[in-house]
Amino acid sequence: MYLKRTLESYVVKVSDMFPVLLVTGPRQVGKTTLLKRICDANRQYVTLDDPNNVRLAREEPLLFIQRFKPPVLIDEIQYAPELLPVIKAYVDKYQTRGLFWLTGSQQFHLMKGVSESLAGRVGIINLLGFSLKELQRKAQESEPFLPVENFLEKFNSTYYTLSLEDLYEIIWYGSFPVMWELPKNSDWGDGEGYGDGQGNGHGDGRYVIKKSGMDRDLFYASYVQTYLQRDVRDLANIENITIFLKFLQSAAARTGQLLNMTDMARDV
């Protein structure tokens, strides 16, 4: 079952303003799921995770665009940066908004190519994992922060109260959608939520999703391994992945602290 995201309406707004929409963010935060959820039936979908598609996109980018004509959603655009100049030429010719929806996970190379090829033609949105309001099915009530009187009071009043145990569990399991699921066969009503009294519904029953069956340690170990093998090796010629993993762990352990490179170097 799909969980509504705060950025849904903003994605549509940006698509109506630019010929190209790019949704970036870490792997597995729901970029493709979000765009598939809100796109029209006439928009084609193609993923560059498919070896045949990525080969065509790299070797014959013009033929690729002819085969997958806009409006189109191209998933994992970072695997075929050769498409970007062709997309630029296409949108310059047709001058139509919302032609291309793109997703990408590798920020550095992707953003470099986008800034060079699609400047002024692309609206960029960064999607992260579930927010607390999304977990509580209150995505539509999220508002941008404004430094005005009573904002925090009004902002906090829209959240359901969480126990310390619930809050710790959210932090511990993280915000990746795969770690959470909506309970099946539940009468949702209007924000009534779910709770079974056994730790799966959280607190007083107003917390509206529960932990999935995904093993937390296995998921994050696999996630880091994928990051090291696919992303880090593409960005830099790192010979010793083990040392880089130690650096990654050292940086993560210091979240929220002032950066101290000397201290981190001792760990590595």
Kindly state whether residue 227 falls inside one of the protein's structural domains. Answer: yes
Q: What is the CATH number of the domain that holds 95?
A: 3.40.50.300
Q: Residue 158: its pLDDT value, please?
A: 65
- Domain stops at, among 92, 108, 126: 126
Asked whether residue 65 falls in the same domain as residue 158, the answer is no
CA 49 to CA 90: how far, in whole Å? Answer: 23
- Domain stops at, among 75, 102, 126: 126
Give the residue numbers spanning the domain of 77: 8-126
Asked whether residue 162 falls in the same domain as residue 255, the answer is no
Asked whether residue 94 falls in the same domain as residue 203, the answer is no
Asked whether residue 106 falls in the same domain as residue 190, the answer is no
> Binning pLDDT at 50, 70 and 90, where does residue 240 land?
confident
Kindly state whether residue 28 falls inside one of the protein's structural domains. Answer: yes
Asked whether residue 119 falls in the same domain as residue 221, the answer is no
Number of domains in the chain: 3
> Closest Cα partner for 35 from 135, 110, 102, 122?
102
- The pLDDT tens digits of the residues spanning 64-122 come to 999 999 999 999 999 999 999 999 999 999 999 999 999 998 766 677 778 888 999 99
Asked whether residue 15 falls in the same domain as residue 121, the answer is yes
> Binning pLDDT at 50, 70 and 90, where does residue 32 land?
very high
